[in-house]
């Protein structure tokens, strides 16, 4: 376990050095957050009762989404790992006396935590200080806040487990661009990153909430805002655990296979 903690620590320290990139990212997230809130507000003013979420809950969802964007975006891959797969550097990784899955998982976890650590506090601070209805509301209860933190961790682990499956698939291909763009785009849409899941028609939403994508950011953000409560909340958390186990098993199987029969560029 110490060797994987070393990989995690080194990648975390590396990621914390990119402060200029974090500042640029925060500026983008502030702009995008305000733009989404103003756009939704225009629709809410026409007929507030026609929407499935209270406007204050939606605003909290959007600000939390922007603050913790680095944790849940499905199109953010580790470029070093992709380069190793495409140029044959994977051979050096396979020569290490470590589990490829655990090593890459630790690196991706550190990458996302370092990026989020540099961005989330200023975004949350500004969002909390904004007047109603434009600012971040407090969680519905202390229990909801605790469950928000727990499901945030589960959602992050589920997102990385999804990335590990993509990495496993790319080891079998000459180019990974197509499969990465397709899978990450589908998961981004289905996880509520584009449109919160409650805004989908009821029949479609019911199906989407059972998919693994719903457990990435949809669950923690809706728990915080109070939009997800009671039995639906418990079911969502259990589904997070189930899909995390399934994705982890699938990723390990793919990378275990890659250790034995990976196709390396150059021979």
Q: Which two tokens stand for residue 65?
A: 């989404």
Structure confidence at residue 100 (pLDDT): 84
Characterize 30-40 residue by residue with b for buried, 16 or more Cβ atoms within 10 angstroms of its Cβ, and e for exposed.
Answer: beebeebbeeb
Q: Considering its fold, how many domains does the chain have in total?
A: 1
In this structure, the number of other CB atoms found within 10 A of the CB of residue 9 comes to 12
Question: In angstroms, rounded to a whole number, what is the distance separating the alpha carbons of residues 13 and 145?
Answer: 29
Structure confidence at residue 174 (pLDDT): 64
In a domain, 126, yes or no: yes
Structure confidence at residue 7 (pLDDT): 72
Structure confidence at residue 108 (pLDDT): 92
In the numeric block, the tokens 């370092």 are attached to 114
In this structure, the number of other CB atoms found within 10 A of the CB of residue 131 comes to 6
In a domain, 47, yes or no: yes
In a domain, 45, yes or no: yes
List of the chain residues with pLDDT < 70: 18-22, 24, 88-89, 91, 94-95, 174, 259-267
Helix, strand, coil percentages, rounded to 5, for the chain? 75, 0, 25
Structure confidence at residue 83 (pLDDT): 79
In a domain, 50, yes or no: yes
Nearest residue to 138 via CA among 154, 148, 33, 193: 148
Q: Taking the model in full, what pTM does it have?
A: 0.90
In this structure, the number of other CB atoms found within 10 A of the CB of residue 22 comes to 20
- Structural domain for 205, as ranges: 2-261
Structure confidence at residue 210 (pLDDT): 93
In a domain, 267, yes or no: no
In a domain, 266, yes or no: no
Structure confidence at residue 260 (pLDDT): 67
């Amino acid at each position: 376990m110490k060797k994987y903690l070393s990989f995690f620590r080194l990648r975390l320290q590396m990621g914390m050095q990119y402060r200029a990139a974090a500042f640029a990212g925060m500026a983008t997230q502030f702009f995008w957050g305000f733009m989404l809130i103003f756009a939704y507000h225009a629709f809410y003013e026409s007929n507030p009762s026609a929407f499935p979420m209270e406007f204050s809950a939606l605003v909290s969802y959007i600000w939390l989404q922007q603050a913790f964007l680095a944790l849940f975006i499905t199109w953010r891959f580790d470029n070093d790992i992709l380069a190793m797969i495409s140029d044959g550097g994977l051979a050096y990784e396979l020569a290490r006396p470590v589990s490829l899955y655990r090593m890459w998982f630790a690196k991706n976890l550190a990458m996302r935590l370092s990026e989020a650590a540099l961005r989330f506090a200023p975004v949350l601070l500004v969002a909390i200080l904004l007047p109603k209805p434009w600012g971040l509301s407090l969680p519905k209860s202390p229990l909801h806040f605790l469950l928000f933190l727990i499901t945030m961790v589960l959602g992050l682990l589920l997102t990385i487990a999804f990335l590990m499956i993509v990495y496993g698939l790319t080891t079998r291909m000459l180019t990974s661009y197509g499969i990465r763009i397709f899978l990450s785009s589908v998961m981004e849409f289905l996880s509520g990153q584009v449109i919160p899941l409650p805004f989908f028609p009821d029949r479609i939403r019911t199906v989407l909430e059972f998919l693994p994508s719903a457990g990435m950011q949809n669950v923690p953000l809706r728990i915080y805002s109070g939009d997800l409560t009671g039995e639906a909340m418990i079911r969502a958390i259990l589904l997070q655990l189930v899909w995390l186990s399934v994705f982890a098993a699938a990723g390990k199987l793919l990378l275990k296979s890659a250790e034995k029969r990976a196709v390396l560029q150059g021979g």
